[in-house]
Structure 1
């Protein structure tokens, strides 16, 4: 599981930051890529990454402001050109279907794959559940309806304790496979070997919270509770709380307080205003670290692994080569 940032800017493209686009790379887990928001130019950003549009199977939209959705029509069209034929599902607030369908209709774009929409109720809730992942959305506090998303990986089954099985003199072969699949077996000598006795503890899955544009509110904490990673907007800096509130956004310090309250492992700040360039963007992270140490301001094309095991606030985080903080 990896998080790749295709765009980390706010409002409009800037010289060194494209507008919002976040990819959750689940290639090892399910051979899919999920996108969270598709700002203008996202498909071009992909050309500088290893992500291919045909691998994108789900898109989660936080809200319908242009810097979060204007890249959708082009990306959907490019997916057809790259032999994408699997169904793509778009989740988001009411209106996302109308925006996409009118864009495709007016441009006479014909997709080579089925396109599905799941428009979320204003109260949010569980929006997706598979055998490996559950995604929950909750409304935030922005000028228009904006959602945050919580992606929870289900626990991984425990491994077969091979040494223990050998001690019990279980013949190697198909019986090992049955035990690993959770089936009890009966040996020729009449003994019953219970799968639970030879399977190790399940490995807890990972959790990522992606918070859309918002003021600080209760749902941000609920979405991020005990998450391994929280991605949060940081449109404003320390001392700009009034401006942040007036414009329905968050400061880096407020995001850090949310991270601390929710008990997350690490905080990644994105949606950076163009007025914070170079060292000024670094200051957003320095301000936040006084409250939550394990904080980084991310840049376009940064890729972060989401490891197993709780990431403590004090534990240093390995930085990608593109991170200059």
Structure 2
């Protein structure tokens, strides 16, 4: 059973980076083992700022082949393969004829993604003269026939069709049997009849058990994949894009020993007479689902004496304007990570006098259509899908570069210990007509850090702003207000239990996916915290 699962956001920007947001990437850590999802430019540098360890990353999952999600992959692979086997890296003779790798024990980095990823990575490593201290292998998820047909029918633009034809000719010229010297040929994973990909990691089992050929020997054991299965589906975007679902399985609940142990010990003598010398050994039978009928007439039914265990489910979507295809795999998710690239920021009144507004659509609806045409989503679309899935938490990701990362180490909350701010606040208190009982006597020395300011803090900052905040500090306040609007727009369609169930992903944010505690009397899940813990990933400081 996986005890700890956390998600670290390494890059949360769309298209291009900003001063506070890097290109797309995130890491999921399960009991110490790390799986990376996407690798935009600069990902390996972001990793070094975080608490994730390079040597613990043994799988990479790519959602789609846009540059802001894959341009960092070749360099990352070079770094990761060295971290996975540092001794080979130190002793390696970089002559291309070198054969010092141990074919039986050298590990392999497993990479999953859409069709075309294998050729991209092979070309990048080959033409940059890159050699690796261990092996890598790319598994491609074959595009389902229906999705392939829709893409073909949707390419009405001659320029776009010409580009795709050129891309296809180039792909055919690359010989699939000519591998990079440190590459092992991966699998072409076919979808199920419904177009979904279930339990991707099961293909690795043949590399563990088969010893018929060289390709089958290179696999580093992964204890996590026996606790977490990975499903996938293609989702709608401007290019073929994948969404992934991480789901726990094979979990055993906790035995309610206060019910089981007394009953077994009470029947100890009778059980010994039947040849069961250790009555408590029958607990194993309960865990296997067997009903125990004890000599004194007591019946121990697993459903009555084993508390149910919550199976956590994390849904990680690539860029999308319609992820509905993945819904059967993603229902009742613990965490949904959904893009919210753009938000309409203007007035939402109907603009009937707009000559371009033939259907009399309001301004926000026109903007939504524009966002969809680019293959992306608004916060309201993300919230609606979270509601459809009955998700517990929604994390918004992949923001336009004009949205600031509010918890980035380069832009922190206003310094409440700033002497100028303190002086202005003190003067405002003194001049305020509001009853002194309704205001704190002074600002706390350590203001609680979250992904949004509280209403009181915002009101206070607004008052300070009116009395002469600098432009930089005013910008911080404005950025907070914009990001809060994004969260509120998502909440309008998601309608979560509280706004704490919608998290705005910033670079270096770390979100813990804790297992909910189960009430042994009612067998119902109850949370001990009002919100999921969110930390700064570079020092694990609670936000």
- What TM-score bracket applies, with the shorter chain setting the length? 0.7 to 0.9
For 1:49 and 1:139, the matched residues in 2 are separated by 30
Q: State the secondary structure of the residue aligned to 2:388.
A: helix
1:214 to 320, 324, 328: 320
2:116 to 71, 95, 114: 95
Query: How does the TM-score come out when normalised to structure 1?
Result: 0.86
Aligned residue number for residue 376 of structure 2? 249
Q: Is the 8 A contact 1:93 1:120 kept in 2?
A: yes
Choose between structure 1 and 2: higher strand proportion: 1
Q: State the secondary structure of the residue aligned to 1:289.
A: helix
Aligned residue number for residue 258 of structure 1? 385
1:36-80: CA deviation from partner (whole Å, max 9, x where unpaired): 111111110011111122211111111000110111111111123
Q: Is the 8 A contact 2:22 2:42 kept in 1?
A: yes
Structure with the greater alpha carbon radius of gyration: 2
For 1:283 and 1:324, the matched residues in 2 are separated by 23
Aligned residue number for residue 167 of structure 1? 263
Measured after TM superposition, the shift of residue 6 of structure 1 is 0.6
1:296 aligns with 2:503: yes
For 2:6 and 2:243, the matched residues in 1 are separated by 18
Answer with 78-87 or 252-261: which moved more.
Answer: 78-87
Q: State the secondary structure of the residue aligned to 2:201.
A: strand
Gaps of 5+ in 2: 86-105, 145-195, 203-224, 269-276, 345-363, 405-478, 517-523
2:29 to 25, 31, 47: 25
| Equivalence map 1:36-75=2 (5 Å) | 36-75=37-76
Measured after TM superposition, the shift of residue 201 of structure 1 is 3.6
1:255-294: CA deviation from partner (whole Å, max 9, x where unpaired): 1011112110010000000122333333211211222233
1:114 to 135, 141, 145: 135
For 2:257 and 2:532, the matched residues in 1 are separated by 34
Q: 1:226 to 1:61 in 2, by over 3 A?
A: same
Q: State the secondary structure of the residue aligned to 1:82.
A: helix
Q: Is the 8 A contact 1:154 1:204 kept in 2?
A: no
Answer with 258-267 or 108-117: which moved more.
Answer: 108-117
Choose between structure 1 and 2: higher helix proportion: 2
Aligned residue number for residue 153 of structure 1? 248
1:228 aligns with 2:327: no
Q: Is the 8 A contact 1:232 1:267 kept in 2?
A: yes
For 1:42 and 1:100, the matched residues in 2 are separated by 16
Measured after TM superposition, the shift of residue 167 of structure 1 is 3.0
1:71-125: CA deviation from partner (whole Å, max 9, x where unpaired): 1111111123324353221111111111111111122222222212210021341
2:197 to 125, 141, 144: 125
1:283 aligns with 2:378: no
For 2:392 and 2:304, the matched residues in 1 are separated by 32
Q: Is the 8 A contact 1:159 1:180 kept in 2?
A: no
Gaps of 5+ in 1: none
CA-based RMSD: 3.2
For 2:303 and 2:115, the matched residues in 1 are separated by 49
Q: 1:285 to 1:145 in 2, by over 3 A?
A: same
Q: 1:324 to 1:282 in 2, by over 3 A?
A: farther
Q: 1:113 to 1:194 in 2, by over 3 A?
A: farther
Q: 1:204 to 1:235 in 2, by over 3 A?
A: same
